Structure 1
Amino acid sequence: MQNPLPGDQLDVDELCILSGLLSPPTQDTLEAMEEMAESWAWLKPALPELLAVGLPLLREEYQRLFVTGACPARESAWSEPILAGSAHNLMALYRQAGIALQGRAPDSLAMELIYAAWYLEQDLPNSPYGWQALWEHLCGWVPCFARCLQERANMDIYRVLGRRLETLFAPCRSDP
């Protein structure tokens, strides 16, 4: 019996949702959250507060957590070396995959999740870089970031995001 690939529980759509929640919030973010909560149960607990506080407070919390540094959503804040060894190498990976940075840092978790989603869609488990390496690399730092969100976030949406990221990336141990 063949062992499943690590991270085989990951869903491409969910990785894109997670990436979106790690991006600056817009009015579209709020509207999409209402729709997504129907399909993604882990989002439902955050919806009432999110709808009550609205976009201005969501933007303030995003700024506090991710921009001013309470929980930076960049790999370089949590790990060295970063995926692919450098920001330059990361940008080359993204270019090869046809992924635009859209103003994000190359080592942002939002970008790395989009790259992981692309990678899964391509069905490239045996490529030179390899899914196992990408998976283990994310697992090396995402759980610490996720715990930071759970501890420091003032809004449910970011605590829920932290719990979901930890759930997805904590089982990364390569135990036999």
Structure 2
Amino acid sequence: MNDVKVSVIMPVYNVENYVGRAIESIQNQTLTDWEFFAVDDGTPDNSGKICDEYAAKDPRIKVIHKENGGAPSARNVAIDKAVGKYMYFMDSDDWAEKTMLQDMVDLAEKNDLQLVVSGYYIDTYYSDTEKFTQEQVYKDKIYKTQAEFRADAHNLFDRNLLYTPW
């Protein structure tokens, strides 16, 4: 029986200054039954090594090293290995709020959803002490039909919430 709720898939390329925070934000989730695929896409910096160090300490983290082929290729390699009921695509310079995975799974299971789209924050740093945070969200909405979703999809695109990861 598969106990993995969410397969987190993250392409990794030239993010040695950020990738640790991304991984730790998943390790610190309230939902703990996840697997994490960090796909080192032939990065020339230490990003792949940093991922290996996290994987050595947490068996839920798996690192795949491959030749550079771009983010879509990296995601596809991990998709082939993922066993979770759900997938979450994460960028390696992002981090997740502590309850994000649990909130998304709860929403999906309560409403029998195939897709959950979440908002996000953009932090713009002007100096070490000055930053501006912009929240990018859309109204809470559950689409009961494909036609309903398609009719409103342009609003999600307009808010940069619905772009394909590849």
TM-score normalised by structure 2 residue count: 0.29
Q: Which has the higher helix share?
A: 1
TM-score normalised by structure 1 residue count: 0.28
Greater RCO structure (CA 8 Å; 6+ sep): 1
